[in-house]
Amino acid sequence: QITLKESGPTLVKPTQTLTLTCTFSGFSLTTSGVAVGWIRQPPGKALEWLAHVYWSDDKYYNSFLRTRLAIARDTSKNQVVLTVTNMDPVDTATYYCAHLLVAKQYSYHVWGQGTMVTVSS
Amino acid sequence: DIQMTQSPSSLSASVGDRVTITCRASQSIGTYLSWYQQIPGKAPKLLIYGASSLHSGVPSRFSGSGSGTDFTLTISSLQPEDFATYYCQQSSSSVMYTFGQGTQLVIK
């Protein structure tokens, strides 16, 4: 059974860097055809794709946020870490990590429960 | 970047109704289109991938169709648990994925 769980701070101040960790089980991020992605959702708004990292360690980022995002995997810990620099109140959102399968047309097959992050001084 | 436009933004329907939600891509995406269901306060769940393939465990009243730029999600007979928000997502561009703005399905 595949599970993912997000963890990190619930409150950050403007200009600070946010670091979120996705801890997963039931699969390996070294297995061909697998990726883990991050998606966020501001309160009452739509989903926004942020980034994902493939089994090959190839990484892709939202072009509008690229300069502020970094994604990294730790295969020994079954974790994927997302950092977002220079946080702003508009970055207040629920942040989800999700398991992607190339074989399912690059769809997000299983999602974590999400973690709410508020940006406020 | 590829833009995804869903219509309608909100839809009112009754239990037992057949409903269709449309998603249009700003350029051809083949069949790299997924549909997700999100119940308030919960994480999204995959319904359809590859434009028309039903994800395991998803009821057969859900179906998807389309290719290129125009796609539809159809629920053949609405059940009470289907009232939620639905999102399409393109995965054609490995450089950047995008979601539609969502369609909220409410009880009439």
pLDDT tens for each residue of A14-24 = 999 999 999 99
Contact B60, B68 (CB under 8 A): no
3-state secondary structure of A27: coil
* Cα Rg of chain A (Å, integer): 14
pLDDT on residue B1: 86
How far from the centroid of its chain's Cα atoms is residue A7's Cα?
Answer: 10
Look at B96 and A63 and tell me if their CB atoms are within 8 Å.
yes
Give the closest of B49, B91, B96 to A62, CB-based. B96
For residue A36, the chain B residues in CB contact (below 8 A) are none
Q: Which of B32, B44, B98 sits opposite A106 (nearest CB)?
A: B32
Q: What is the pLDDT of residue A41?
A: 98
| Cβ-defined contact of A49 to B34 (cutoff 8 Å) | no
Q: Which amino acid is at B84?
A: A
Confidence of residue A103 (pLDDT cuts 50, 70, 90): confident
Does residue A87 contact residue A18 with C-beta atoms inside 8 Å? yes
Identify which of B46, B94, B96 has the shortest CB distance to residue A107. B46
Segments in chain B below pLDDT 50 = none
Question: Is B35 in contact with B88 (CB distance < 8 Å)?
Answer: yes
Question: Which long-range CB contacts under 8 A does A60-65 form with residues at least 24 apart?
Answer: A60/B94, A60/B95, A60/B96, A61/B96, A62/B96, A63/B1, A63/B95, A63/B96
pLDDT digits (tens, 9 = 90+) for A60-95: 999 999 999 999 999 999 999 999 999 999 999 999
User: What is the maximum span of chain A, computed from C-alpha positions, in angstroms?
Assistant: 44
pLDDT in the model for residue B108:
87
Put simply, the answer to whether A111 touches B43 (Cβ < 8 Å) is yes
Pairing of strands A93-101, A115-119: antiparallel
Q: Which of these, B105, B40, B37, lies nearest to A44 by C-alpha position? A: B40
Task: Specify the residue for token string 């994480």.
Answer: B43
Q: Cβ separation of B44 and A47 shorter than 8 Å?
A: yes
**What pLDDT is attached to residue A104?**
87
* DSSP three-state, residue A28: coil
